[in-house]
Homo-oligomer: A and B are copies of this chain.
Amino acid sequence: MVGMRGAYGGACNDDSKSRLHGGKAAEPEIASMAVHKVAPPPARSTASKMKVRVKETFFPDDPFRAFKGQPPGTQWLMAVRYLFPILDWVPSYSLSLFKSDLVAGLTIASLAIPQGISYAKLASLPPIIGLYSSFVPPMVYAVLGSSRDLAVGPVSISSLIMGSMLRQAVSPTAEPTLFLQLAFTSTLFAGLVQASLGILRLGFVIDFLSKATLVGFMAGAAIIVALQQLKALLGIVHFTTEMGIVPVMASVFHHTSEWSWQTILMGVCFLVFLLSARHVSIRWPKLFWVSACAPLASVTISTLLVFLFKAQNHGISIIGQLKCGLNRPSWDKLLFDTAYLGLTMKTGLVTGIISLTEGIAVGRTFASLKDYQIDGNKEMMAIGLMNVVGSCTSCYVTTGAFSRSAVNHNAGCKTAMSNVIMALTVMVTLLFLMPLFVYTPNVVLGAIIIAAVIGLIDFPAVYHIWKMDKMDFLVCVCAFAGVIFISVQEGLAIAVGISIFRVLMQITRPKMMVQGNIKGTDIYRDLHHYKEAQRVSGFLILAIEAPINFANSNYLNERIKRWIEEESFEQDKHTELHFIILDLSAVPAIDTSGIAFLIDIKKSIEKRGLELVLVNPTGEVMEKIQRANEAENYFRPDCLYLTTGEAIASLSALAKMTKP
């Protein structure tokens, strides 16, 4: 202990001294200090390493941990409960829980019915499909889903994307049946994509949609969706089928003749009503029900108005006849014709991933609010299966919606039962109340959509991102601009591309820091960060902060040579550079090119009459260095140290001994 401390003291003295008297070396006793050797990591077979890596990649949450050491019977039970989370809460379900769920369920139902109809129209599908999609999927999710707050149903963005992608190939007005078939088929593929992502434990794929990307994308999509509603809001009949802001605005102002003042008047009134209701609920969270019920209220009121004033004869378009009855089976409608297979698969992939991202994000948000865990991959299976079932029961893509889940949460839902309540309410509507919607004006549906999607534009988040990270802000802006000017999918692709490119750049141009000693201690830190850190004369201490691989070995090579040249100037004249210390503590991995780089830089440093020393190579790096040594002994033990302090101490001692 004392010996050690002496050694450390020596080390410190040495540094301080050498700084004071310009590189005069340390006291003799240091030469005899106990230096810790860099140990090779315990040998492991490639197979076992692979096993660990695969586990970390696909099973980071180690889902089978709980199963270990349980009797087979229990294991079976646990497996079943893992697959059907409903079994976790049903046995202990109580009346008090039911009361809260009932309230929450009815509240989200009153939101789900008008939104269902509206979003279906947004996807150019018959309104009834929207209600179908708010009936079966919630039931399925209640059984399979592990989130207690997720309110399942159709959502604006997926509806928008599906509609726009399918319309590129088929016109919903000209060939409604075909369009419907394609919608169901895409939903099936979306479900399959989602489920397989979960089963194959590839959940991390959606992590590549960063917060910044999503904020920008959502805002852009919200605007696109809102613009689409101008058709309904202005009562325009001949509207463009394109999405971009430019064609839409053009089409709006080319058909000014078609604007109907009655429609506009009604639209504006209800829009104002809905927005102020929304404002109230944001201002006083206890009044969440105001905005929750506003849509249904508007539908009811507007329908009544139309009915009373026969407004349909005064240029206000209405939904029209909707036939009663529950979802019809639709597996016979699934279309695998090669002519459309590519389209449906692509649509399924995009809508699947987008809706999945939304669903998982919502789930995670509320889980962390109520502090319970949800297993991302398990959720994906649930949502995926929900959509597969949906595609066979006349539903289109559904997921957990931000807005509705928030209402569900505020309304005090306790379990997934609230989804069941909602589904049952929708069922009642489907069975008996459909005729009431005959006179519902489309303009109100438009207003409902606008009021809903405005919530997707998250200004505080944008400001936060701008303050935090300018690059993230750029990503956000690109996503936004891409969506509103180019197209929804491409905007997303661009943003993801930039984010990934940025990650790659962090590897290609890794951070390196020149370290100095913090006076009177054994601590070495970045010279540019810590003003009290001082150069150790005779030494250049470099720390690399990235895996060393093919993408950066050339850069590191050039850069280090430049550091050395610059350092040779920096060092005060009467001491010149002797040792280059490369601190590898922050290098988690190294590949063949990386090793080649280490060997090359060592040689060229020695050609300059300097000496290269490696500090604290971590497990994998140390392994590779050893393998390299097998071929030729590049890195002798005496150029590997465990800490910079020890390296400097013993090297200066050495230097002193060699040239007295």
Q: Which A residues from 8 to 23 make CB contacts under 8 A with B?
A: 8-9, 12-13, 16
A204 touches B591 (CB 8 A): no
Stretch of A101-109, A401-409, A514-522 contacting B (4+ beta carbons < 8 Å): A514-522
> Please, how many angstroms separate the alpha-carbon atoms of A510 and B506 in the complex?
14
Q: Kindly specify which of A35-43, A192-200, A304-312, A444-452 makes contact with the partner chain.
A: A35-43
Contact, CB under 8 Å: A589 / B511 = yes
The tally of residues in A whose CB lies under 8 Å from a CB in B reads 106
Q: A5-B9, A589-B511 are in contact. Are A60 and B551 (CB under 8 A)?
A: no
Q: Closest chain B residue to A16 by CB distance?
A: B1
A562 touches B619 (CB 8 A): no
With contacts A8-B522, A210-B549, A526-B618 known, what are 20 further pairs, Cβ within 8 A? A4-B12, A39-B529, A41-B528, A60-B509, A204-B508, A207-B555, A212-B591, A212-B593, A213-B550, A368-B600, A371-B607, A373-B561, A467-B627, A468-B591, A503-B507, A511-B620, A523-B643, A526-B619, A585-B585, A585-B586
Binds B, one of A242-250, A268-276, A335-343, A469-477: A469-477
A5 and B8 in contact, given A210-B591, A468-B624, A619-B528 (Cβ under 8 angstroms): yes
Least distance between A130 CB and chain B CB atoms (Å): 31
A88 within 8 A of partner (CB): no
Are the C-beta atoms of A562 and B62 separated by less than 8 Å?
yes
A513 proximity list for chain B (CB < 8 A): 618
Assembled-state Cα–Cα distance A624/B465 (Å): 11
Indicate which residue in B505, B591, B596 contacts A57 across the interface (CB closer than 8 Å): B505
Closest 8 CB pairs of A and B: A210-B550, A586-B586, A545-B588, A511-B588, A468-B592, A529-B619, A41-B529, A472-B592
Asked if A573 is an interface residue, CB under 8 A from chain B, the answer is no
Q: Which residues of B contact A659 (CB under 8 A)?
A: none
A–B pairs, 24, beta carbons within 8 Å: A1-B13, A8-B8, A8-B522, A36-B518, A42-B528, A57-B505, A60-B562, A61-B559, A207-B551, A207-B552, A210-B550, A210-B551, A211-B593, A211-B596, A371-B604, A468-B628, A500-B504, A503-B547, A511-B589, A511-B618, A513-B618, A545-B586, A546-B588, A586-B588
Determine how close the nearest CB of chain B comes to the CB of A481; give it in whole angstroms.
19
B-side contacts of A529, CB under 8 Å: 39, 41-42, 618-619, 622
Chain B proximity of A641: nearest CB distance (Å): 11
Which of A211, A213, A373, A620 has most chain B Cβ within 10 Å? A211
Q: How many copies does the complex hold?
A: 2
Q: A13 to B550, alpha carbons, bound, how many Å?
A: 44
**Does A254 interact with chain B (Cβ within 8 Å)?**
no
Q: Which of chain B's residues have a CB closer than 8 A to the CB of A376?
A: 554
Pair A593/B8 contact, Cβ less than 8 Å: no
Q: Are A469 and B510 in contact (CB under 8 A)?
A: no
| A505 proximity list for chain B (CB < 8 A) | 57
- Chain B residues in 8 Å Cβ range of A472: 591-592
Q: Which parts of A573-629 form the interface with B (CB within 8 Å)?
A: 585-589, 591-593, 595-596, 600, 603-604, 607, 616, 618-620, 622, 624, 627-628
Q: Given A212-B592, A468-B595, do A56 and B523 touch, yes or no (CB 8 Å)?
A: no
**Any B CB within 8 A of the CB of A76:** no
Chain B residues closer than 8 Å to A471, beta-carbon distance: 591
A56 to B559, CA, bound (A): 9
A558 CB–B CB distance under 8 Å? yes
Chain B residue nearest to A375 in the complex (CB): B558
